[in-house]
Each structure stands twice: as structure tokens, then as C-alpha cells.
């Protein structure tokens, strides 16, 4: 039996896990238990986990191949671990409800976020359950959305005017834009493991619903963005140094509250690639 202690934190999503040291290699039993907890709770929190980038990457890699972000700086000796440092990088795109890297053909399965330096107060992160949001929709609204697709665009969260201000940054942005043109994903996504359905649009990257007129798309997306982040579908985490959060990016979105300036906040993230979203 696994020695993990799992404490649910809210009805919609979230659980705190103890009884495991993420800095050490995990047994298959531990990996399986964490994977099952992620399926059930969608976002997992671990207190007091001081990890080096290589240890963080090793833990994340238990669950899939790792992504190297096209814009954010990374740890030089561990490029799969990106750095979110407010003293170095403009991270305003995190202060919006978003699902990570949905501009990819295979968006992230999940992400492992480690708190390295925190403000004295503020800097919380919220997560919202796309499963809870989908299940709360009326039957007619579900029927309308099923089978629709939406465009996801890299430039919505990484606009040229903020990420192309030097020759080096402009070259990096242009290369990222070339490699990540707008693409489409289903509005309702079926989880590839659990089979549960989830809303799969987010304000950070979703620009339009393809099968609707511009006016219809704007209205429906405005409704869905507001609906998906209703308080009853969310959880808010108050970080402590060396906390780790691990979330299922396929069925959640999140919002990093930008309320602590001019204090500094440093987080490190390892992103696990997923598969092509589908609906059935």
C-alpha cells in the first residue's frame, strides 16, 4: 500500500498530499498513487519540498515528455525547467485565466510548479476545474458546444509589443510565432484517461469559436470564460516556500494573482507534454 496521505481541499478540485519526498526517486507504487490522485483531484499540493531543478524535472518526467518553453527563460543546466522571475521577466500573461500552452498541437498534460522566492504576502494561485464547469452547464448548452472547435493563438498571451522589444527578443518571438501558428482544438475535451468531459477554452489563448459568426463566438466565449471561473469551480492556494503544485492541465485552468508588486516572486515550472485533444 502507498504511504501517501491525501486530503481533499474542495468539492470541485484540489488535494494536499504528504508522505512523499519529491526530491528522491519514487517507486512505481508512489507514481501510480500520485497519478490516480491527479485524475481524481485535478490539482495536487505538496508542502515542504525543496527540490533542485534536476529533481523537479525527474519527478515531472515520470508522467510524460517535458516541454521547453519558446519564450520564458529556463535553468541553463536543466532547460526543461522554466523560470518565472518577476525581477527578470514580464509575467502579466500569468495573471489571466489560462491553460498552459494550448497553442501546441499536443498541449501540456500537466505541470509541476515549485515556489522558490515569495513575497511576504500575496502571490496566490487559483485553479478552476473544467470538468465541474462542463457538468454545471445545461443540456441545451452542452448540445450546442459539442462538436465545436476553437482557435488557440500564441500571440494572445505573448503579444509582439511586450515580447519583441529588443533585437534578440524579436528574433526569439518571430521564431516562436513561426513554430506555433494558430490552431484548433475542441471546445469540449474528453479526458484521455478518465473519459470525463471538460471545457477546453481559456482567455489566455482562445481567440474564437470557428463554426460561429464573430458576434456569436464573442458572446459564447465571454459566457464560457466567466462560467468556467465561478468560485464554486475553483480553489485558491496560498504559497509557502518550497511548496509544489502538480496539476492536470487537460481539465483545469489557473490564474497567478499579480497583487504583490514591487515585491519579487520566483517560481520554477516543469511542463509535461500531453496528447492531441479530442471529443467523443
**Residue ranges for the chain with pLDDT beneath 70:** 1-2
**CB atoms closer than 10 angstroms to residue 271:** 27
pTM tops 0.85, yes or no: yes
Per-residue pLDDT, 85: 94
Q: Which residues form the catalytic set?
A: 98, 100, 254, 269
Q: How far is CA 112 from CA 11, 63, 103, 243, in A?
A: 22, 10, 19, 10
| 3-state class (DSSP) for residue 26 | coil
64: alpha, beta or left? (left if phi > 0; alpha if psi -120 to 50): left
CB 63 within 8 A of CB 35: yes
CB 42 within 8 A of CB 247: yes
In angstroms, the CA 151 to CA 102 distance is 10
* DSSP at 193: T
Nearest to 180 by CA among 72, 276, 101: 101
Nearest to 149 by CA among 182, 187, 183, 181: 187
Per-residue pLDDT, 166: 87
In angstroms, the CA 45 to CA 21 distance is 13
Q: Which three cell numbers stand for residue 269?
A: 515550472
Specify the pairing of strand 74-75 against strand 78-85: antiparallel
Per-residue pLDDT, 268: 97
Q: How far is CA 230 from CA 104, 131, 134, 235, in A?
A: 26, 13, 12, 10
In angstroms, the CA 68 to CA 271 distance is 8
Based on the number of CB atoms within 10 Å of its own CB, is 3 exposed (0-12), middle (13-18) or buried (19 or more)? exposed
CB 242 within 8 A of CB 115: yes
Report how far apart the first and last C-alpha atoms of the chain are (Å, whole number). Answer: 35
Q: Give the DSSP per-residue string, 123-165.
A: --EEEEEHHHHHHTS-HHHHHHHTT-EEEE-GGGTS-HHHH-S
* DSSP at 88: T
Per-residue pLDDT, 2: 61
Residues 6+ apart with CB under 8 A from 41: 6, 8, 9, 13, 14, 15
Per-residue pLDDT, 1: 42
CB 86 within 8 A of CB 191: no
Amino acid at each position: 500500500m502507498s504511504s501517501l496521505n491525501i486530503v481533499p481541499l474542495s468539492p470541485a478540485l484540489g488535494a494536499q498530499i504528504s508522505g512523499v519526498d519529491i526530491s528522491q526517486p519514487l517507486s512505481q507504487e508512489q507514481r501510480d498513487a500520485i497519478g490516480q490522485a491527479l485524475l481524481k483531484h485535478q490539482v495536487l499540493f505538496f508542502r515542504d519540498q525543496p527540490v533542485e531543478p534536476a529533481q523537479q524535472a525527474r519527478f515531472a518526467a515520470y508522467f510524460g515528455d517535458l516541454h521547453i518553453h519558446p519564450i520564458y527563460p529556463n535553468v541553463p543546466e536543466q532547460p526543461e525547467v522554466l523560470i518565472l522571475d518577476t525581477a527578470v521577466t514580464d509575467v502579466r500573461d500569468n495573471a489571466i485565466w489560462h491553460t498552459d500552452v494550448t497553442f501546441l498541437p499536443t498541449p501540456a498534460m500537466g505541470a509541476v510548479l515549485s515556489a522558490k522566492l515569495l513575497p511576504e504576502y500575496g502571490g496566490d494561485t487559483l485553479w478552476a476545474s473544467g470538468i465541474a464547469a462542463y457538468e454545471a452547464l445545461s443540456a441545451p448548452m452542452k448540445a450546442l458546444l459539442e462538436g465545436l472547435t476553437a482557435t488557440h493563438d500564441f500571440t494572445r498571451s505573448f503579444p509582439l509589443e511586450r515580447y519583441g522589444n529588443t533585437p534578440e527578443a524579436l528574433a526569439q518571438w518571430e521564431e516562436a510565432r513561426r513554430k506555433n501558428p494558430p490552431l484548433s482544438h475542441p471546445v469540449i475535451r474528453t479526458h484521455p484517461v478518465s473519459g470525463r468531459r471538460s471545457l477546453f477554452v481559456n482567455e489566455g489563448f482562445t481567440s474564437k469559436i470557428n463554426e460561429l459568426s464573430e458576434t456569436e463566438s464573442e458572446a459564447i466565449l465571454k459566457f464560457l470564460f466567466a462560467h468556467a471561473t465561478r468560485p464554486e469551480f475553483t480553489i485558491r492556494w496560498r504559497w509557502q516556500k518550497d511548496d509544489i503544485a502538480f496539476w492536470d492541465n487537460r481539465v483545469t485552468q489557473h490564474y497567478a494573482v499579480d497583487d504583490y508588486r514591487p515585491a519579487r516572486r520566483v517560481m520554477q515550472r516543469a511542463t509535461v507534454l500531453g496528447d492531441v485533444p479530442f471529443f467523443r
